[in-house]
Structure 1
């Protein structure tokens, strides 16, 4: 049988990385607006070398912000998946009935193509309901809050949109113009979904400590 261990420290680590991500996404969003306005008067088919030094500096800044974002994202993914795995184990420690997954697959579904468009949400929904309504006999019959599907839809859409320009050669002004537009559309989705995820994680961890811990064997 699993032992209960609070997922609080893992949540805190994930929050630190998420706050960094949100900050970098905000910077990237603002930078993309500046980049778009500076490129607006240039011919799209012209080579990127026609950009002024100031415009090139903004583009360079945007690239550096993107690299820092990627590093923070990797750190967050690791911390988040460790938190999710621990949270699911805690439900087993509390002997919650009707769970449909295993701690390993709470992580594994994120790496299975196509299935990762749906199954991670199903796992998060199950984790949320079983944690929040642990003292309710029919926890499966409870409705998830709207923030749960909104979080997932924004996360998926943001990732799809941000990847549309991933194969660009960035040889012409238009390439950078399109990139700026992609960022201006995708980053707000990323920011809102990130904030919602922090709320979800906090609710789950708080509820587990209040409701599941008394039912569980601790280590």
Structure 2
């Protein structure tokens, strides 16, 4: 029995026509890498929460009875806090670099899907993260526009609705975690008493807890937007400018 002829491979959904010199590029590989990196960030975040809690508890004991805390305990706690901060910081830097690359790619894809929807140039998908104060708002604006432009068509021809709840929760947790982390780290560096160290540890504890929440939400955000773009790419090129 002869084998059935094999037809040509199905075209990639990302082999879309150029739109103003742009071409769709799959964000799937970057999304997988980010899932792994954010998982590591979450693991280090749990360790950071433990270090903050340990430092706070130690300061509480020191305030209640200075003789009950040895110098070795203070040294170990300080070393643990510094080590966790270094590891967590390095993990966030690597994850942040990959995230910005992914963010720029999905922003570029969104311009293919809906030319003119975003008034800011594609370069802002990178630059917005490095502008003081503006980085508390501009990346969110770009994320919202990209989310809307990447919405797949429904079966009836209209757009499917994907609420911005996930985007809002992720960005809110991210900004609060950044602000509390900055303030807690600054307070810890300036602390000159056990009470001040305890207060700084409390702030860092809340900030690192929110960092965990933001990392979990970031995974869902990355995977959801990537899936939306994959579905939208399979439906063909943009049909109209916005």
Give the TM-score band, short-chain normalised. 0.7 to 0.9
Q: CA deviation at 1:216?
A: 4.3
Cα distance change of structure 1 residues 118 and 143 upon mapping to structure 2, 3 Å threshold: farther
Q: Which fold has the larger relative contact order, with Cα–Cα distance below 8 Å and residues 6 or more apart in sequence?
A: 1
1:201 aligns with 2:218: no
Alpha-carbon RMSD: 2.6
Distance 1:191 1:166 in 2: 17
199-208 or 160-169, which deviates more:
160-169
Query: What corresponds to 1:59 in structure 2?
Result: 78
SS at match of 2:219: helix
1:164 aligns with 2:183: yes
Query: What corresponds to 1:134 in structure 2?
Result: 152
Query: What corresponds to 2:39 in structure 1?
Result: 19
Alignment of 1:1-150 (within 5 A): 1-43=21-63, 51-96=70-115, 98-131=117-150, 133-135=151-153, 144-150=163-169
Q: CA deviation at 1:10?
A: 1.5
Contact 1:96 1:134 in 2 (8 A): no
From 171, 195, 199, the equivalent of 1:178 is: 199
TM-score w.r.t. the length of structure 1 is 0.84
- Number of matched residues? 211
From 233, 238, 242, the equivalent of 1:212 is: 233
SS at match of 2:128: helix
Distance 1:189 1:155 in 2: 7
Greater Rg by CA: 2
Distance 1:93 1:147 in 2: 23
From 161, 174, 182, the equivalent of 1:155 is: 174
TM-score w.r.t. the length of structure 2 is 0.77
Unmatched 5+ residue regions in structure 2? 1-20
Distance 2:203 2:30 in 1: 32
Quick check: which one's helix share is greater?
Answer: 1
Cα distance change of structure 1 residues 213 and 102 upon mapping to structure 2, 3 Å threshold: farther
